[in-house]
Amino acid sequence: MSQINIKEPSVVIREKRLGTINAFTGAASEIVEQSAKGQLKDCKRKFSQCLGCNQQQAFCQLAMIRDAVVIDHAPIGCAGEFADFNFTYRVEQARRDLPPALGRYFCTNILEKDTVFGAAKKLEETIRLAYDRVHPNAIFVTTSCASGIIGEDIEAVVDAASKELGIPVVTCTCEGFRSKIWTTGFDAAYHTVLRGIVKPAEKKTNKVNIINFWGTHVFDDIVRRFGYEPQYIIPFSTVEELSHVSEAAASIHICPSLSTYMGAGLNQLHDVPEVLVPPAYGVAGTDRWLRAFGKLVGKEEIAEEIIKEGHEKYVPEIEKLKERFKGKRAYVTAGAAHGQALITLLGELGMDVVGAAVFHHDPVYDSGDDKLDILGQAVKNYGDVPDYRVCNKQACELVNALNRIKPDLILARHGGMTLWGAKFGIPSLLIGDEQFGIGYKGALNYARRIDDALDSIEFIKNYSKHASNPYTKWWFDQDPGYFQGDGSGKGCAQGRGGF
Amino acid sequence: MSGAIEQPRFTCALGACQSVVAIKKGVPILHSGPGCGVQVSRIIGQGEGYAGGSTMPCTNSEEADVVFGGEKKLRNVVENSFKVIDGDLYVVITGCTAAITGDDVASVVGSFQEEDKPIVYVEEGGFKSNNYVSHSRVVNAIIDQYVDKFNEDREVIPGLVNVFASIPYQDPYWNGNLEQLKRVLEGIGLKVNILFGNESEGVSEWKSIPQAQFNILAGTWAGLDIVKHLKRKYGTPYLHFPYAPIGAKETSKFLRAVAEFGELDQNKVEAFIDREEKKFYSHIDKMASFMLEFRYGIPRRFYSLADASYSLGFSKFLLNELGIIPGIQFIVDDIPEKYQESVLEEFSKISDLQRRDVKVVFNPDAGLDQLELLEDAKDYEDKRLLILGSSWDKHIADELHADLLIISVPVQHRLVMNCGYLGYEGGLRVIEDIYDRVLATYR
């Protein structure tokens, strides 16, 4: 279990806290085993492609707090994502029947002279400007590679501003170079919220924190059935609502890769218990999750009712669709826990998961509880995934693996990767909504979408004839893990490679 | 401007990696933090292209590289980029981390150049400039470190021109615009190196840059550093047409300026212009009755939040060809002060018939610009307004019930393929797109 220390301004990075790695080649069972034994080693790559950074993951959690402002203390390039998240923010407002509002994001616009003479004054001015223009209830200051290397005392600036303006002004330390694991950015955002916004509980409420991105509100009916109120955090919360998340009765994870830190933080600091089983993906997974939640809130009989109803309502159709997936070979590419959840779903739907390119691997979560091990459960319930690779979102590794494995279906979760399935003429499916696959209905949702994807081959086959391919023949002749570690093609794992 | 920016509409120096993506089989290699490529894609990217987006090689700087330097890592990534990615030209661009820690990129890349690999480098650092400026630095680096190798004893080819106009990806319509410019310049008898996008032959075309008879820059300021550099280096003269030519009036003016500068065959040029104008105005003739007689509202006044080149080009076009009057023009490209006077002067000449005082605001902090726009619009509540801007402006357009034509990044509310707004055909496309948006609002 990692110790959450909110006295420190910066979160401890994931590779130090959890031993997270971003390179592995082997079978899923091997990574599960080595995680449990603490044997995983990380290694460098001799070739790499654009990844993604802490700041972007931090920003996605902070940018949709409805009455807060985010200031990116950075050169203007780091603000490239502002518009993208504003678009998401506004589309999701409409889905939640919220009035239209603009995402209020400011960039301090660090220039060369600021790297020499200092940028602290610029930050001060930007905080004031943002406050005057928006009058937010909180201001978050995200840091960048440039501000990090200049190394000024940002804490002093925000503390002074907070006193002057009478609202929380809180830093979020998320320089891109700070952690090799981009999901450390989620932790950084949660650290910021735990440290600067969440207040000690004055009372306990019947709310349940659902720590998520901005997915569909699939937990409403379930949580209410148990007599609790769902509270989806952090996007679309207000500053006031966030200050009271400590009062909730429980926290739910939709993806432990996302919320391990927040769940543990609320538990350790404010005694909010977490539901510590893998998220409710697949029929068996949903049964297990409902029982765990029922047990946590002391209403196991309601869990049994929902399980019975769910099986009656959804399982027959799932079973029917499963017939059509028999013998189909599937491949998964996604962030860690969500990728493992997709493996679970595909296993549940009777497909043969032949490989996965997952972006990183957390051997353990902040709760320290091994019951959250999604992959371990998936391997136990549905069998091994022979080619499980931790690819650090390196497209070349995915492309190479796909070229060898030639699966019948690719399930992806992240832009820039799904494309490669289509280029090879393989039906590919990207579902952005993390909650789309949750519960019994979620399993059916996926089954239907997979059925559609497998059916809709005309475009894929036509496109693949004309798609560009920038990779060389030499690369396709190497093992996909060639650049992991010493160039042996076996990654950094102790285990064997192979398919 | 050096202050804070809300609603950015350009990116940092590293954004010029997209100029490399726009060259056929061009491969950018970022020596930068891990998130930089994503940030560039998010504001100006349009898919991956050949080797952009997630395909783009990057050193993904980490803490150790910042402390101990990242030269060794860069060498590995460059060496393996040649093996993994099939490219004609590789361009290393440095981000903030490498710039601050002071990696000797010249020496790393230099060793590959000595082996005659097609690779160049640009030492940028995201904070050093923005992508309007660094586009020129990337182009000049390619010329100096690569193109120049092929320039021994080569002669000027009469009638060959290099064209610099839209900045790839920063101008969302770059590909279509460059196609249109190439078409009309070929129409008046020139051979055109368009250098970026579908109509370019790729790197082989770049090799003939030094042989051009003259260079053309169609744009206000970005790109001036390229044509000036080429003049110094190869003595190639250049014509600077200071905005985007949109529609018949301005495109004909542009072509006549080019023809005069290049001493082209007058008859041939005028024959082409005549043919194009006849086609263009036949369409205006068809739609004039709609413009004059449509019973319900169509926009009569417009604002723009755009770069200087589009702001001028669209203002001239909308005023003279459609009768839509320019309101405040917010120029958001961080145009250096030394060029601002020339923009004001060009606006003062916007009408041939009367003096028009167009209010121009130079401020990349578009959040503030929007507040000023909303304030000004209060005086025009009787008019249907048109806003030329980006996806950032959707919410003010909604608030004002104004029509929005997106001409600037970020673009989230339309899909762009080969649409271009420059030239004769581009002008027609502008008209279609504006009134498509207007008419779609009726029940």
pLDDT-based confidence at A446, cuts 50/70/90?
Answer: very high
Closest-CA distance of chain A to residue B182, Å: 25
Q: Which residues of chain B does A76 touch, with a Cβ-Cβ cutoff of 8 Å?
A: 5, 8, 10-12, 126, 130
Q: What is the pLDDT of residue A494?
A: 42
Give the model's pLDDT for residue A486: 61
Task: For the domain made up of A315-477, give the CATH fold.
Answer: Rossmann fold (3.40.50)
Chain A positions in Cβ-Cβ contact with residue B61 (cut-off 8 Å): 145, 176-177
- Are both B347 and B428 inside the same structural domain? yes
Nearest residue on chain A to B46, alpha-carbon basis: A416
Judged against a pLDDT cut of 60, whether residue A498 lies above it is answered with no
In Å, how far is A303's CA from the nearest CA of chain B?
Answer: 43
- Interface touch B412/A146, C-beta < 8 Å: no
Interchain CB distance below 8 Å, B54 and A46:
no
**pLDDT the model gives residue A328:** 97
Report the CATH number that the domain containing residue B141 is assigned in CATH.
3.40.50.1980
* B229 and B355 co-located in one domain: no
Spatial strand order of the sheet with B238-241 comes to B191-193, B160-164, B214-218, B238-241
Out of A79, A176, A475, whose CB is closest to B83? A475
- Assess whether B18 and B88 both reside in one domain: yes
Binary contact (A50, B53; C-beta < 8 A): yes
Both B126 and B204 in one domain: the answer is no
- Top residue of B24, B29, B38, B137 to mutate, by most chain A CBs within 10 Å, is B38
Rounded CA-CA distance A347/A22 in Å is 24
**Domain A50-196: CATH superfamily, name plus number:** Nitrogenase molybdenum iron protein domain (3.40.50.1980)
Q: Which residues constitute the domain of residue B258?
A: 160-269
Residues of A in contact with B367 (CB under 8 A): 104, 106, 133
Residue B33 lies in a domain: yes
Do B200 and B72 reside in the same domain of the chain?
A: no
* Domain termination site, one of B132, B150, B168: B150
Q: Are A75 and A109 in contact (CB under 8 A)?
A: yes
> Which chain B residues have a beta carbon less than 8 Å from that of A178?
63
Size of interface A-B (CB pairs under 8 A): 235
A497: pLDDT confidence band, cut at 50, 70 and 90? very low
Number of folded domains that form chain B? 3
pLDDT for res B125: 86
Residue that is written with structure tokens 């994931």 in the block: A14
Q: Which residues of chain A make contact with B371, given a CB cutoff of 8 A? A: 133
Which residues, 6 or more positions from B372, have their beta carbon under 8 angstroms from its beta carbon? B328, B330, B361
Same fold, A50-196 and A315-477: yes
Calculate how close chain B gets to A180, using CA atoms only, in Å.
Answer: 6
B32 phi/psi in degrees, rounded to 5: -155, 180
Q: Quote the CA–CA distance of A410 and A334 in Å, as a whole number.
A: 11
Partners of B3 on chain A (C-beta within 8 Å) are 109, 122, 125-126, 129
Over 80: is that where the pLDDT of A148 sits? Answer: yes
Residue B392 in domain: yes
Nearest to A178 among B38, B63, B81 (CB): B63
Which of the two residues, A485 and A118, has the higher pLDDT score?
Answer: A118
Map out the domains of chain A as residue ranges: 50-196, 315-477
Res A366: pLDDT: 95
Closest residue in chain A to residue B64, using alpha carbons only: A177
Locate A242 and state its tokens: 């966030």
SS (H, E, C) chain A: CCCCCCCCCCCCCHHHHCCCECCEEECHHHHHHHHHHCCCCCCCECCCECCCCHHHHHHHHHCCCCCEEEEEECCHHHHCCHHHHHHHHHHHHHHCCCCCCCCCEEECCCCHHHHHHCCHHHHHHHHHHHHHHHCCCEEEEEECHHHHHHCCCHHHHHHHHHHHHCCCEEEECCCCCCCCCCCHHHHHHHHHHHHHCCCCCCCCCCEEEEECCCCCCCHHHHHHHCCCEEEEECCCCCHHHHHCHHHCCEEEECCHHHHHHHHHHHHHHHCCCECCCCCCECHHHHHHHHHHHHHHCCCHHHHHHHHHHHHHHHHHHHHHHHHHHCCCEEEEEECHHHHHHHHHHHHHCCCEEEEEEECCECCCCCCCCHHHCHHHHHHHHHCCCCEEEECCCCHHHHHHHHHHHCCCEEEEECCCCHHHHHHCCCCEEECCCHHHHEHHHHHHHHHHHHHHHHHCCHHHHHHHHHCCCCECHHHHHCCCECCECCCCEECCCCCCCCC
pTM: 0.97
Q: How far is A453 from chain B (nearest CA, A)?
A: 21
- Same-domain check for residues B334 and B426: yes
User: What per-residue confidence (pLDDT) applies to A492?
Assistant: 56
pLDDT tops 50 at residue A495: no
Which among B101, B116, B150 is the end of a domain? Answer: B150
One domain for residues B166 and B260: yes
A384-398 pLDDT, tens digit each: 999 999 999 999 999
| pLDDT given at position A488 | 53
Distance CA A428, CA A416 (A): 12
Q: How far is A245 from chain B (nearest CA, A)?
A: 30
Instruction: Clarify whether residues B18 and B146 are in a common domain.
Output: yes
Tens digit of each residue's pLDDT, chain B (443 residues):
679 999 999 999 999 999 999 999 999 999 999 999 999 999 999 999 999 999 999 999 999 999 999 999 999 999 999 999 999 999 999 999 999 889 999 999 999 999 999 999 999 888 999 999 999 999 999 999 999 999 887 899 999 999 999 999 999 999 999 999 999 999 999 999 999 999 999 999 999 999 999 999 999 999 999 999 999 999 999 999 999 999 999 999 999 999 999 999 999 999 999 999 999 999 999 999 998 889 898 999 999 999 999 999 999 999 999 999 999 999 999 999 999 999 999 999 999 999 999 999 999 999 999 999 999 999 999 999 999 999 999 999 999 999 999 999 999 999 999 999 999 999 999 999 999 999 999 99
Residues in chain B: 443
Which chain B residues are within 8 Å of A180, Cβ to Cβ?
A: 34, 60, 62
CA angle A255, A325, A342 (to 5 degrees): 10
Q: Does B318 map to a domain?
A: yes
Shared domain for B125 and B179, answered yes or no, is no
- Give the tens place of pLDDT for each residue, A45-93: 999 999 999 999 999 999 999 999 999 999 999 999 999 999 999 999 9
Residues of A in contact with B56 (CB under 8 A): 49-50
Burial state string for B219-239 with b = 16 or more CB within 10 A and e = fewer than 16: bbbbbbbbbbbbeebbebebb
Tell me: pLDDT of A405 over 60. yes
Compute the CA torsion angle B139, B216, B352, B180 (nearest 10 deg).
-80
Among residues B103, B130, B150, the one where a domain terminates is B150
Considering the domain architecture, whether residues B145 and B167 belong to the same structural domain is answered as: no
Question: In this predicted complex, what is the ipTM?
Answer: 0.97
The first and second tokens of residue B254, run together, are 């542009």
Residues B83 and B210 in one domain: no
Q: Which residue of A has its CA nearest to B125?
A: A112
User: Is residue B155 a part of any domain in this protein?
Assistant: no
Q: Which pLDDT belongs to residue B1?
A: 62
Residue A223 confidence (pLDDT): 98
Q: Say yes or no: B174 and B103 in one domain.
A: no
CB contact under 8 A, B43 and A130: no
